[in-house]
Structures are given as structure tokens and as C-alpha cells.
Amino acid sequence: MPHTGLFILLFLVIHLLNFTFSGAEPGEELLSQVVKTFHTPRFLVLYPVLIVLLGIHISHGFQSAFQTLGVENSGYSKVIRAVGIAVSILFTLGFALIPVLVYLFYNAGGR
């Protein structure tokens, strides 16, 4: 948990530098910035890797949250674990696909 958590912090710092503090105005300019970022090989690889780590963090965090709320030994723990894993796989696939799809379907010029 603390290890994957540190990678999320790393992801956020890189991510905010890439987009929020890139100086690009929301709209066309920000879209070009996103397209340019995902045509940079290191970011195309790094984003999905860090998003998988985020997914591992969420799959564990989901059940931890229920444990904190005291529903651990209620007979639902298997269901909670399964839902946590299903949700994190779904989120991971969804977010990790974005850089790949942007790379495949947008030209480096922004369109």
C-alpha cells in the first residue's frame, strides 16, 4: 500500500507538470498538449505502468475501506474483495487505454 501510494504521488507530480502546469489553455491547445505528451515514448510507456500501480493500490484500498468501516468478518468479505478487484481492473484498463488510443488515433500535430 505505501509503495504503490508513493507511485501515485509520482504519477500526480508528472501528470500535473504535463497538463495542468503546461501553460496550455483548456480546449484545442490542451488537446494538442495531451496528443504531444502521448507521442513522447517515455510518457506513452510510463502512464500505463503508473496507472497499473494505481489500480493495484485501489484494489487493496477498496477492501481496506470496508475493513475500516467494520464490515470485514460479516460474510461479505469475499464479495467485497471480488468487487474491489473488478472495479480496479475496469478503471485500470479504461485509464491505461487512453494514452494508447491517443497515440494510435491522433496525429502528433494534434488532430
Judged by CB under 6 A, the residue of 4, 34, 35, 53 near ligand HEM is 34
Q: Where are the alpha helices (DSSP H) in the chain?
A: 2-15, 28-38, 41-68, 77-105
Judged by CB under 6 A, the residue of 61, 98, 103, 110 near ligand HEM is 98
- Using the contact rule CB under 6 A, the part of the chain among 12-20, 60-68, 70-78, 82-90 near ligand HEM is 12-20
Least distance between ligand HEM and beta carbon 25 (Å)? 9
> Are the beta carbons of 54 and 8 closer than 8 angstroms?
yes
Hey, is 111 helix, strand or coil? Answer: coil
Is there binding between residue 19 and ligand HEM (CB under 6 A)? yes
Query: CA–CA separation, 66 vs 72, rounded Å?
Result: 7
Among the listed residues 84, 53, 85, 91, the one whose alpha carbon sits nearest the alpha carbon of residue 66: 84
Least distance between ligand HEM and beta carbon 44 (Å)? 10
Least distance between ligand HEM and beta carbon 79 (Å)? 26
Among the listed residues 5, 90, 20, the one whose alpha carbon sits nearest the alpha carbon of residue 50: 5
Which residues of the shown chain bind ligand HEM in the complex (CB under 6 A)? 11-12, 15-16, 19-20, 26, 30, 34, 47, 51, 54, 95, 98-99
